[in-house]
Structure 1
Amino acid sequence: MKKVRMGMVGGGQNAFIGGVHRIAAFIDGEIELVCGAFSSNEARSKASGLSLYLPENRCYDSYDEMFKSEALLPKAQRMEFVVIVTPNYLHFPIAKAAIEHGFHVLSDKPATLNLSEAVALESLIKKHNCLYGLTHTYNGYPLVKQAKHIIEQGDLGNIVKVVVEYSQGWLASKDDEKSKQASWRLDPEKSGVSCCMGDIGVHAANLAEYVSGLHITDVCADLTSTVAGRSLDDDGTVMLKLSNGAKGVLLASQISLGDENNLKLRIYGDKKSIEWSQLDPNTLWLKSNRQATLQIRAGVGDMCPEAQRAMRTPAGHPEGYLEAFANIYQNFIAQIRAHHKGEKSDNATFDVPGIEEAVRGMAFIENVVIASQSNLKWHPFTLEIKPKFPEKN
């Protein structure tokens, strides 16, 4: 057994998410960072790689140079997969180039700039037999996996309502736009047709579908640019219809002053309900009208195998965002190892969000933007590519 060799595009010096990815990748000791193109600025890319103790000849000026050079290296030396941690508009061209050179891809979400690119990416993955993972981090929490298991076991009965909310306050004022993280997210050329829904609403939608086991079938949306002068949404409410006939509500906001990273999920059945919060990730509540409310704590009692594998410490030792991120990496590495052996290596088997979730995520973003710009109440959730979006009212 050898470490799996990773390359990185983006995530250079002072890039928050790049550091998070590297910490998560290294937690289980199964991954080695061997190369990178860390910035579009050649000097910054080189300096970033050297600061990570990479040899100078594997600190590349561009991702094109990296893929071409790495592909020429002996198989035992070249990177095996690349992680993409750039603004949205670069996700597709980088993933496309990597796959065409034979490298597996793990990408930040959303997968692409638009649905058309996500569909094209799906075709490329099938054509080149490469693996693709998407870092929907919140799926990695042990008690999220336990909640999914509880629902699969039928403990909640028939699901009748899903409520998911993701609120932040970091874009609540005009002054908040000065940071690099904010500026590209509010730029349609770099972020796509949505800021809030593309950045965090898509996480909430994915979490609701992942845990409930249901698909969104229809949406009714109201997106808002709360701060004057913004061309993209910073707040939104989406009503949902789900594949079993249940209803749902999705709230996403980046102007909720004082909120940090407040992601909550509540799923109601006709027997019981569950509640989970990312601010208290080691606790899952199981409720009913006829029995005492049950508090399920990570590491206490029997857990499903997926939840058990996602836990690293005994009860009472909090695990959080970094460990959840690491669980995505851990599962993706297991998927790569199986792929190398010629064994079954589909995303569902290894519990890795993949191209199906990528396409549905981009479809969610575009569907809710279109629904918000319409006076009609309900809009079917479709994977159909829209050639043109209506003008904003």
Structure 2
Amino acid sequence: MRKLKMGMIGGGKNAFIGAIHRIAANMDGLVELHCGAFSSNPEISRESGKELFLPEEKCYATYQEMIVKESGLTAGQRMDFVTIVTPNFAHFAPAMMALDHGFHVLIDKPMTLSLDEAKQLQQKVNETGLILCLTHTYSGYPMVKQARKMVADNELGKIRKVMVEYTQGWLSSLFENEGNKQAIWRTDPAKSGISGCMGDIGTHAAQLAEYISGTKIIQMCADINIVVEGRKLDDDGNVLLKFDNGANGILVATQIATGEENGLKIKIYGEKGGLEWHQMEPNSLIIKWPDVPTQIYRTGNSYLSNNAMANTRTPSGHPEGYLEAFANLYKNFALTLSSILEGKTPSAEMLDFPSVDDGVRGMAFIENVIASGKSEQKWFDFKI
């Protein structure tokens, strides 16, 4: 029994998501930052490691150097897994190299720059038996897990309709031309891939819809837009969905909804009842019935499912949010990995984190939704 040793690729000085990862990894005391290649600039990488109080020999100039040198150390001295927190275009190569050298991987979404790359990673994971966790953070919220359990237990009956929206307003102007670092790479096809908005937040909405409903998207009809003049990638879209159980749905993703913050919301309706969850009010799950008053389930209460409780840290009335949801991915990943290292079988609760298969579906969603948006065909089959 020991803390797992994490090597980080990316996430150096002034990188928003790197700090989020380190907070999440540290929250449950299961993981420690062991080494890092924090920037493509070797000097910034070393400075970043120094600011994080790492020994000089653990501040690597490149991820290639880190992976090779760490793989040459003994099991108790080397890193146990790699966390990749770089822009989309810099996901595939370090992930593949880490897997080739025997390291487990935790990686930001979307998993790769293309579906073909995603399939190659999936094949490598299957060949090696290593673990890959994908950071679809919103599936880590306790009330999302409660919603998933209620659907799985048929409390709502057969699912008929799924409505999910993810609204942001931070790209309502051409901020990429004003020096905004996040806007610059997220709207650049060379760094972000074939999609902007749908790749960035539409994938979160699609994953959440499938995760809670327990169904898979099989067809779509997409309207994809570039609203802000001069932008190179989509910043808005509306998608009609059909699921493999016969349900239909609507997915809206936009980053030009002026004044919106991070408005991820989902509604799911079955034959017996419906549910509703809002990311900006994450500790409440609204349950709707046809013949009794609406119920509000709250995080931390004993009436919740075992999985919801297993992903809750504080008593009811003590709000938990984005950082805790992010930490749940790290916790479940770490518990799974520790169990495997100890020769034990991970529990179902431990294994509840997005995997390489979710990464493949995420990339398939991006490629299919963009193809549908360009096509004059009404319904476009979801191809993998």
How far the C-alpha of 1:328 sits from its partner, in A, is: 0.3
- Which amino acid letter does the alignment assign opposite residue 83 of structure 1? T
CA distance in structure 2 between the partners assigned to 1:175 and 1:111 by the alignment: 25
User: Does the 8 A contact of 1:239 with 1:250 survive in 2?
Assistant: yes
Aligned residue in 2 for 1:150: 150
- 1:284 paired residue number: 285
Q: TM-score, normalised by structure 1?
A: 0.96
**Whole-Å Cα distance in 1 between the matches of residues 131 and 329 of structure 2?**
14
Asked if the contact 1:347/1:354 (under 8 Å) is kept, the reply is no
Deviation by residue 1:9-42 (Cα, 9 ceiling, x = unmatched): 0000100000000000000011110100000011
Q: Aligned residues: percent identity?
A: 52
**What are the superposed Cα offsets for residues 173-194 of structure 1, whole Å, 9 maximum, x if unpaired?**
0135421111111111110110
Aligned residue number for residue 386 of structure 1: none
Structure 2 counterpart of 1:29: 29
CA contact (8 A) 2:176 2:187 kept: no
- CA shift, 1:231, in A, is 1.6
Cα distance, 1:276 vs structure 2: 0.2
Retained in 2: the 8 A contact 1:347–1:353?
no
C-alpha deviations, 1:228-251, integer Å up to 9, x for none? 111210010111000111100000
| Secondary structure, counterpart of 1:34 in structure 2 | strand
Counterpart in the other structure of 1:248: 249
2:73 counterpart residue number: 73
Amino acid paired to 2:240: M
The residue number in structure 2 matching 1:84 is 84
In structure 2, the residue matched to 1:321 is 322
Aligned to 1:268: 269
Residues 379, 256 of structure 1: alpha-carbon distance in 2 compared, 3 angstrom cutoff: same
Which residue is 2:4 aligned to? 4
Q: Is the 8 A contact 1:196 1:253 kept in 2?
A: yes
Quick one: distance in 1 between partners of 2:156 and 2:187?
40
Any stretches of 5+ residues in structure 2 without a counterpart? none
> Which residue of structure 2 aligns with residue 98 of structure 1?
98
Match of 1:166 in 2: 166
- Aligned partner of 2:187 in structure 1 is 186
Cα gap change, 1:348 to 1:371, in 2 (>3 Å): farther
User: Which segment drifts farther, 347-356 or 52-61?
Assistant: 347-356
Which residue is equivalent to 2:111? 111
Q: Per the alignment, in what secondary structure is the counterpart of residue 203 of structure 2?
A: helix
1:199 aligns with 2:237: no
Q: Give the TM-score normalised by the residue count of structure 2.
A: 0.98
Give the deviation of 1:346 after TM superposition: 9.3
Secondary structure of the structure 1 residue equivalent to 2:12: coil
**1:287-326 to 2 correspondences below 5 Å:** 287-326=288-327
Displacement of 1:73 in angstroms is: 1.5
Query: What is the CA–CA distance in structure 1 between the aligned matches of 2:13 and 2:347, rounded to whole Å?
Result: 34
Retained in 1: the 8 A contact 2:332–2:349?
A: no
Which residue in the other structure is 1:217 paired with?
A: 218
CA contact (8 A) 1:195 1:234 kept: yes
CA contact (8 A) 1:197 1:365 kept: yes
Q: Which amino acid aligns with 1:219?
A: M
Is 1:55 aligned to 2:64, yes or no? no
Aligned partners of 2:67 and 2:348: how far apart in 1? 24
1:298-349 per-position Cα deviation (integer Å, ceiling 9, x unaligned): 1123111110011100111100000000000000001101221334459886
Are the aligned partners of 2:340 and 2:346 in contact in 1 as well (CA < 8 Å)?
Answer: yes
CA distance in 2, matches of 1:338, 1:74: 19
* Count of paired positions: 383
Q: Which residue of structure 2 lines up, in the alignment, with residue 375 of structure 1? A: 376
8 A Cα contact 1:238 1:251, kept in partner: yes
CA distance, structure 1, for counterparts of residue 176 and residue 169 of structure 2: 10
For the Cα contact (< 8 Å) 1:170–1:176, is it kept in 2? no
Mapped partners of 2:348, 2:119: distance in 1: 17
Three-state SS of the structure 1 residue aligned to 2:91 is: helix
Amino acid in structure 1 at the alignment position of 2:355: G
Show the counterpart of 1:388. Answer: none
1:391 is aligned to none
Deviations 1:126-177 (A, max 9, x none): 2222110001000100000000011111111111100000011111101354
User: Does structure 1 conserve the Cα–Cα contact (< 8 Å) formed by 2:335 and 2:350?
Assistant: no
Mean Cα displacement is larger for which, 180-189 or 335-344?
A: 335-344
- Which ranges of structure 1 fall in alignment gaps of 5 or more residues? 384-393
Report matched runs for 1:125-144 at 5 Å: 125-144=125-144
